[in-house]
Structure 1
Amino acid sequence: MSSSAAGRSAEWFFDFVSPFAYLQLEQFHKLPATLTVEPRPMVLGAILAHVGQRGPAEIAAKRVFTYRHALYRAQKLGIAYTMPPAHPFNPIKTLRLAIAMGGSLEVIQRIFRYIWRDGRDVSSPEGFASLCEAMGYPQGVEAVETAAVKDELRRNTDRALALDVFGAPTFVLDGELFWGEDATDMFVDCVASRDWLDSAEVKRVSQLPIGIQRNTSDAAANKPTPAAAAPAPSA
């Protein structure tokens, strides 16, 4: 059954530390004009810790590939892109700043562009203060330390966990997750219609049984364990 985007809304979970979140936001012009997007700044590090996953930058070869891939995608898409001086950086204050300034997509995009288009440092106290000045909100240095702002970021992160979000950026639409910049077109198609999501093959692959599962006690030896002998996967 097809469904119109009119009157529909989706949540967009992101972290400023992700270059792919920046690249996806720069493609929001692809989204239906009738779709409402509710941005949700969240702490990606907390998400990864919850699901027991290392960040790409914590794996040397993956770190290099990730940076190359982000640059390639930016160049392929024609999006201005300059990495900040060092990565990963602590994004907590930038996430709080977006909340303190009202959390609009316009504010969020300006922060993203300061970091990922202009390649500016936001990790040092001086760098963050410069961001606040550039945003026309010098009081942001103090605003990000208020309890209300901290609580809002915590609520967003808790909501992401409750929705099973496992990475950034992620759209959540009608309970369905669309993770990654390269899922943008998939998300757009699914906003327009549920026909693909409701197709027999998508339903089949979404419910495949686990063939093998690594037993944590065998992790050091890197021995795959038959599913029948492995612990049941968590919900």
Structure 2
Amino acid sequence: MKRIDCYLDFISPYAYLAFEQLPRALEGLGYEVVYRPILFAALLKAHGQLGPAEIPPKRDWTYRQVLWQAQALGIPMQLPAAHPFNPLALLRLAWACARQGTPNRHVCETLLHHVWRAGGAAADDPDRLAEVTAQLAPARDPASDEVKQMLKVATEGALSAGVFGVPTLAVDGRLFWGLDALPMLRAQLEGDDRVDAVWADAARVGAGTVRR
């Protein structure tokens, strides 16, 4: 059975949609998923990028597109009161709940629903954060140095693996980025030769003009 490493940040609407769609997209296949919450902002900083919600026209389009995709996929979704927000409290809570190395699907689902199925409530509201913390009953203190280090290690590990965005699903040494990569991920798990072909063809493209 193949293992899929799922890198996600609860701030990302695409991570939420991919998380919900993944079981449907891979239905009938044998696999296991290891969930690795990471700080998306650290990826952006490392690669010198702005997030989609930091570019006003792209921000507007992002919300329109994810709402449309959610409706098309039959996935319930309500945008939070404000976005982007600081996701550190949620990320640390996830790692504080990790009882067997990494957070399980239930923990990640609860936190994604906290953000994207909250009827427009603020994701970082202190009272709501207290409620979801009580609900999950973490094994560790989310504010502890131990938990902060777990998140840091996970994020650094993602960068070392070549992850540049969320959601990213890694299997067989290959990275599949985004909701729209799920069909390609399925093909990889099925041993479809077309995936090897596009990997090889893409590797042949030389670097062109570099903008500085």
Q: Is the shorter-chain TM-score for this pair beyond 0.5, marking a shared fold?
A: yes
Equivalent residue of 1:95, what SS?
helix
1:111 aligned residue: 111
CA contact (8 A) 1:48 1:54 kept: yes
Distance in 1, Cα, partners of 2:94 & 2:136: 13
CA contact (8 A) 2:85 2:124 kept: yes
Distance in 2, Cα, partners of 1:10 & 1:77: 22
| 2:204 aligns with one of 192, 203, 207 | 207
Residue 11 (1) aligns with residue 12 (2): no
Displacement of 1:194 after TM fit? 4.6
2:35 aligned residue: 39
1:143 aligned residue: 141
Alignment of 1:138-177 (within 5 A): 143-177=141-175
Distance in 2, Cα, partners of 1:94 & 1:172: 23
Distance in 2, Cα, partners of 1:136 & 1:154: 21
Highest Rg: 1 or 2?
1
2:19 aligned residue: 25
Percent sequence identity over aligned pairs: 37
- Aligned amino acid, residue 113 of structure 1: H
1:176-196 superposed Cα distances (whole Å, 9 cap, x missing partner)? 110011111111111111512
Distance in 1, Cα, partners of 2:41 & 2:142: 18
Q: CA RMSD in A?
A: 1.7
Paired residues in the alignment total 205
- Aligned amino acid, residue 94 of structure 2: A
Distance in 2, Cα, partners of 1:198 & 1:25: 25
Distance in 2, Cα, partners of 1:107 & 1:33: 23
CA contact (8 A) 1:56 1:63 kept: yes
- Aligned amino acid, residue 60 of structure 1: P
Distance in 2, Cα, partners of 1:194 & 1:76: 27
Residue 101 (1) aligns with residue 101 (2): no
Highest relative contact order (Cα 8 Å, sep 6+), 1 or 2?
2
Distance in 1, Cα, partners of 2:73 & 2:111: 20
1:130 aligned residue: 131
Distance in 1, Cα, partners of 2:204 & 2:125: 46
CA contact (8 A) 2:10 2:87 kept: yes
1:41-63 superposed Cα distances (whole Å, 9 cap, x missing partner)? 10000001000111011111000
1:138-158 superposed Cα distances (whole Å, 9 cap, x missing partner)? x78x81111221111111000
What are the ranges of 5 or more consecutive residues in structure 2 without an aligned counterpart? none
Residue 88 (1) aligns with residue 89 (2): no
2:190 aligned residue: 192
- Aligned amino acid, residue 163 of structure 2: V
Distance in 2, Cα, partners of 1:104 & 1:165: 20
CA contact (8 A) 2:97 2:136 kept: no
